[in-house]
Chain A
Amino acid sequence: MKKKSFKLTARSLFWLKCLMHAIGLLPIIYLVLLVLNDRAGGDPVQYIIHFTGIGALNALVATLLISPVAKKLKQGLLLQTRRLVGLYVFAYASLHILAFFSLDLLFAWSLFFEEVVKRPYILVGAAAYVLLSALALTSFKKVMRKMGRRWQKLHNGVYLIAILVPIHFYWSVKSEIIEPLLYLVFIALLLGVRAKKSNWWKKNSVKYFTKQERV
């Protein structure tokens, strides 16, 4: 018997988006309840910073997963969820930085800027956040239309973010490098899948190799 091929409808997309909102919001509710019930340790500051950071990273991985999954399942509508998930990356990253600034540095502005400049791992994270903010600010349909082709160019910046963020994570830990390494490898795979199919890559790698031959 042949199965009828499944096609995502606008209605099921709506419910899928609701589900994604739930997955995005529940960890925050969980974190708040943990902290309020003294279940995040005697001093939950590091816990909160780490939790929100990992949340941003997980959401970033999810964003990068959407288009390969949509291609594989031939569900073009799925691409419409990228904005939603991408904005959760921004929300978690914002909470992450806010927690660092308010709970750890206790609003010491000068120390904050000093640390950003002096610590390479914070600088890398900050650079990723600046770029991420630009993506969030230009994520509205109106802006997208206005920007035309430049919009896609700017939003390809997500690949740079995807490289910077795991480096920031890897660099920030004292010695527990396994978890950041897993993220690095996984994100490298997700970027690798794209590089193989990207026209830019094909064009430029061919150019590069032909140049080499001429020399």
Chain B
Amino acid sequence: MKIINKAAWDKFKDCDVTPEEVYHDRRRILKQMGFVGAGALLSSQANAGVFDLFSSDEEKAAFARVALPHSKQTEYDHLLYGDLTPENKVISHNNFYEFGTSKTDPVENSQALKVNPWQLVIEGEVDKPLTLDYDDILKMLPLEERIYNFRCVEAWSMVIPWLGFSLASLLKKAGVKSNATHVAFETLYDPNQMPGQRNRYSGGGINYPYVEGLTIAEAMTDLTFMSVGLYGKTLPPQNGAPIRLVVPWKYGFKSIKSIVRIRVTDRQPKSSWNELAPSEYGFYANVNPAVDHPRWSQASERRIAEGGLFSAKRIPTLPFNGYGESVAGLYQGLNLKRNF
């Protein structure tokens, strides 16, 4: 007779032998492998009602947003084309790869983001470097509501009522030195809170932290906006809480989210998508119907508005996303086909 000893490996549970980050991230990893459809069906609890099927077992409380006092700035309203995109669509269809690469990942994975305390550093070629905390960000400057067209490089668009202040008014607080040529921005780097930053594969290959940049002229023009809220309330994390950039005449990826650092510099800074695929995403990234993305046309866009699946409309895309009269002057003499 042979006695089989309990093998040494039997002492370990799955969570001991799987790398910790993979273990904690297993749901999303499985999802990324494309098994979510079958998995969700097979693993749903036997006693669940049919609609409980859709609530994940770890559904967290939604991020708490607070109402913000503000005035209305209507100077750019005549450049809008189309009605407001409903709030629930604005906050549930997002590109924010730090929280996952699908459109629904950000709202699912970001609700626990800690925005208070927060630190926003303004440094570089400035007279007086600033460090702003959460309250400073919301209260240092009077807030105004501006409604802007928003155009994603993936050829969908929205109309969004942002709350915030112009970037120029913020930079003036720090005092921009005369040798400054560009402004660089950086998103929070915190892999504990941002699952997409844990490895290069879960975050779509981007080298985090996400960075963006503008020329000093672009940064100082009034249209360039720092947003701290939308639809009358503070930003939800999936839209870039607590503070983000909004550059309405450029593709959405320029409007960097959850900013921790603004650095005024004397050289052109890096921008994340440009680094990843320079032939597809330029530094300027101005909305331009005449320059196609290699894999899709930019001549028209699908406007996300009120109504169901079949009520959407495809509308022609305008140069500078309709803001030519405000910003075309910034690019005089520049070949916009080459400098896309």
Using a CB–CB cutoff of 8 Å, the interface residues on chain A facing chain B are 23, 26-27, 30-31, 33-35, 37-47, 50-51, 54-55, 57-58, 102-106, 108, 111, 114-115, 118-119, 121, 171-172, 174-179, 182-183
**Taking CB as reference atom, which chain A residue is nearest B37?**
A27
Contact of B276 among A26, A33, A175, A183 (CB under 8 A): A175
How far apart are the CA atoms of A86 and B37 in the complex, in Å?
Answer: 19
- Contact A42/B297 with A33-B50, A58-B34 known, Cβ cut-off 8 Å: no
Q: Which residues of A contact B93 (CB under 8 A)?
A: 41-43
Q: Are A176 and B34 in contact (CB under 8 A)?
A: no
Tally of B interface residues using CB under 8 Å: 43
Q: Which residues of A contact B332 (CB under 8 A)?
A: none
Q: Which residues of A contact B206 (CB under 8 A)?
A: 175
Chain B 143-168 residues near chain A, CB threshold 8 A: 154, 156
Q: Which residues of A contact B156 (CB under 8 A)?
A: 43, 45
A-B contact count (CB 8 A): 105
**B180 at interface (Cβ–Cβ under 8 A)?**
no
**B89 at interface (Cβ–Cβ under 8 A)?**
yes
Q: Which residues of B contact A34 (CB under 8 A)?
A: 54
Q: Which of the segments B109-117, B256-264, B306-314, B321-329 contacts the partner chain?
A: B306-314
Q: Which of the segments B97-105, B118-126, B129-137 contacts the partner chain?
A: B97-105
Q: Which residues of A contact B292 (CB under 8 A)?
A: 118
How far apart are the CA atoms of A10 and B276 in the complex, in Å?
Answer: 55
Q: Are A115 and B296 in contact (CB under 8 A)?
A: yes
Q: Are A42 and B204 in contact (CB under 8 A)?
A: no
Q: Are A37 and B41 in contact (CB under 8 A)?
A: no
Q: Are B302 and A41 in contact (CB under 8 A)?
A: no
**Taking CB as reference atom, which chain A residue is nearest B304?**
A43
**Taking CB as reference atom, which chain B residue is nearest A172?**
B295
How far apart are the CA atoms of A37 and B102 in the complex, in Å?
Answer: 18
**B339 at interface (Cβ–Cβ under 8 A)?**
no
Q: Which residues of A contact B38 (CB under 8 A)?
A: 23, 27
